[in-house]
Structure 1
Amino acid sequence: MNIHRLLSGLLAAALLPFAAHAQEVVLKVAHQLPPTSLAQTMFIEPWCARIEAESGGRMKCQIFPAMSLGGTPPQLVNHVRDGVADVVWTLPGYTPGRFPFSEVFELPFFTTSAEASSRALWDFVQEHAGSEFTGVRPLATWVNGPNVLHLRDKQVSSLDELKGMKVRAPSRLGNKLLAALGATPVGMPVPQMAESLSKGVIEAALVPWEVVPATKTQELTRYHAEIDGEHAMLVATMVYLMNQKKYDSLPAELRKVIDNNSGREFSAWVAGQFLKADVIGREATVANKNTIYAIAPDEASRWQKATRPVVDEWVREVSAAGSDGKKLYDAAAALVAKYSKD
Structure 2
Amino acid sequence: MKALKLAGAAILGTAIALAGTSLASAQEFTFKLHQMLPATSPAQKNMLEPWVKQVEENSGGRVKIEIYPAMSLGGTPPELVQQARDGVVDLIWTVNGYTPGQFPRTEVYELPGVFLNDIKATNLAMYDMFESDLKDDYKGLEVMWLHVHAGQALMSVDKEVRSPADTNGMKIRIPNRTGAWVIEALGAAPVAMPVPEVPSALSKKVVDATLLPWEIIPVIKAQEQIDYFIEGNDQTRFGTTTFQVSMNKARWEGLPDDIKKAFRDASGRDWWAKVADAWRGGDDFGIKMATDAGKTHIMLTEEETQGFLDALEPVQQRWIDEVSAKGLDGAGLVSRAKEAIAKNAE
TM-score norm. by structure 2 comes to 0.89
| C-alpha deviation, 1:293, in angstroms | 1.2
Q: Does 1:68 align with 2:82?
A: no
SS in 2 for 1:129: helix
Does the 8 A contact of 2:157 with 2:228 survive in 1? yes
CA gap of 1:231–1:148, structure 2 versus 1, over 3 A, is closer
Counterpart for residue 14 of structure 1: none
Tell me the SS of whatever aligns to 1:206: strand
In structure 2, what is the Cα distance between the partners aligned to 1:60 and 1:20?
10
Contact 1:109 1:231 in 2 (8 A): no
Distance 1:25 1:152 in 2: 47
Question: For 1:198-209, what aligned pairs fall within 5 Å after superposition?
Answer: 198-209=203-214
Q: Distance in 1 between matches of 2:206 and 2:295?
A: 21
Corresponding residue for 1:286?
291
Contact 2:153/2:211 (8 A) holds in 1: yes
Shift of 1:154: 1.6
Q: What is the CA-CA distance between 1:87 and the residue it aligns to?
A: 1.1
Listed as ranges, the gaps of 5+ residues in structure 1 are 1-18
Contact 2:153 2:237 in 1 (8 A): no
Task: Identify which range, 229-238 or 203-212, moves more after superposition.
Answer: 229-238
Matched, 1:169 2:174: yes
Q: Matched residues in 2 for 1:87 and 1:211: separation?
A: 22
- 1: distance between equivalents of 2:169 and 2:38? 32
Alpha-carbon distance in 2 for matches of 1:55, 1:150? 42
Please say which of residues 322-331 and 73-82 is displaced more in the overlay: 322-331
Equivalent residue, structure 2, for 1:90: 94
Whether the aligned pair in 1 keeps the contact of 2:26 and 2:61 (CA below 8 Å) is no
Do 1:110 and 1:231's aligned partners in 2 also have CA atoms closer than 8 Å? no
Offset, 1:82: 1.1
C-alpha separation between the residues in 2 aligned to 1:27 and 1:301? 46
Conserved in 1, the CA contact under 8 Å of 2:123 and 2:148? yes
Cα distance in 1, alignment partners of residues 281 and 236 from structure 2: 19
Identity %: 39
Residue range with higher mean Cα deviation, 29-38 or 140-149: 140-149
> Contact between 2:84 and 2:92, CA under 8 Å: does it hold in 1?
yes
Figure out how many residues of one structure are paired with residues of the other and give that number: 324
Aligned with 1:142 (options 128, 144, 147): 147
Change (3 A) 1:47 1:267: same
Task: Identify if the C-alpha distance between structure 1 residues 123 and 330 changes in structure 2 by more than 3 Å, giving closer, same or farther.
Answer: same
State how far apart, in whole Å, the 2-side matches of 1:172 and 1:192 are.
17
Alignment of 1:105-120 (within 5 A): 105-111=109-115, 112-120=117-125
Distance 2:165 2:295 in 1: 23
2:233 alignment partner, SS class = coil
Structure 2: 5+ residue stretches without partners: 1-22
Partner of 1:252: 257
Deviation at 1:132, TM superposition (A): 0.9
Mapping 1:169-188, distance limit 5 Å: 169-188=174-193
How many Å separate the matches in 2 of 1:86 and 1:25? 11
Paired position in structure 2 for 1:7: none
Residue 317 of structure 1 corresponds to which residue in structure 2?
Answer: 322
Specify the code of the residue in structure 2 equivalent to 1:313: R
Structure 1 residue 304 corresponds to structure 2 residue 309: yes
Deviation at 1:62? 1.0
Query: Could you tell me whether the CA contact under 8 Å between 2:167 and 2:187 is conserved in 1?
Result: yes
Conserved? CA contact 1:110–1:233, under 8 Å: no
Amino acid at match of 1:124: M
Cα deviations by residue, 1:248-303 (Å, 9 ceiling, x for unpaired): 22222211110101133222211211111112211211221111111222121111
1:101 to 99, 105, 112: 105
Instruction: Report the RMSD for the aligned CA atoms in angstroms.
Output: 1.8
After TM superposition, give the deviation of residue 234 of structure 1 in Å: 1.6
Alpha carbons 1:140, 1:267 under 8 Å: kept: yes
1:336 Cα deviation after fit: 1.1
**Secondary structure, counterpart of 1:88 in structure 2:** strand
> What amino acid does structure 1 have at the position aligned with 2:79?
Q
CA shift at 1:134, angstroms? Answer: 0.7
Tell whether the 8 Å contact from 1:102 to 1:124 is kept in structure 2 after alignment.
Answer: no
Residue 295 (1) aligns with residue 297 (2): no
Contact 2:147 2:243 survives alignment (8 Å): yes
The aligned counterpart of 1:13 is none
Q: Residue 45 of structure 1 is aligned with which of 49, 53, 60? A: 49
Hey, what's the Cα distance between the residues in 2 that align with 1:51 and 1:100?
29
Q: Could you tell me how far apart the structure 2 residues matched to 1:91 and 1:122 are?
A: 17
CA distance in 2 between counterparts of 1:289 and 1:252 reads 53
- Contact kept in structure 2, 1:119 and 1:268, CA below 8 Å: yes
Runs of 4+ displaced beyond 6 Å: none
What is the CA-CA distance between 1:54 and the residue it aligns to?
2.0
Contact 2:182/2:315 (8 A) holds in 1: yes
For the residues of structure 2 that align with 1:230 and 1:249, how far apart are their CA atoms? Answer: 44
1:167–1:178 Cα contact (<8 Å) kept: yes
Native 8 Å contact 1:143 1:236 kept in 2: yes
Q: Using structure 1 for the length normalisation, give the TM-score.
A: 0.90
Residue 333 (structure 1) aligns with: 338
Counterpart of 1:129 in structure 2: which amino acid?
L
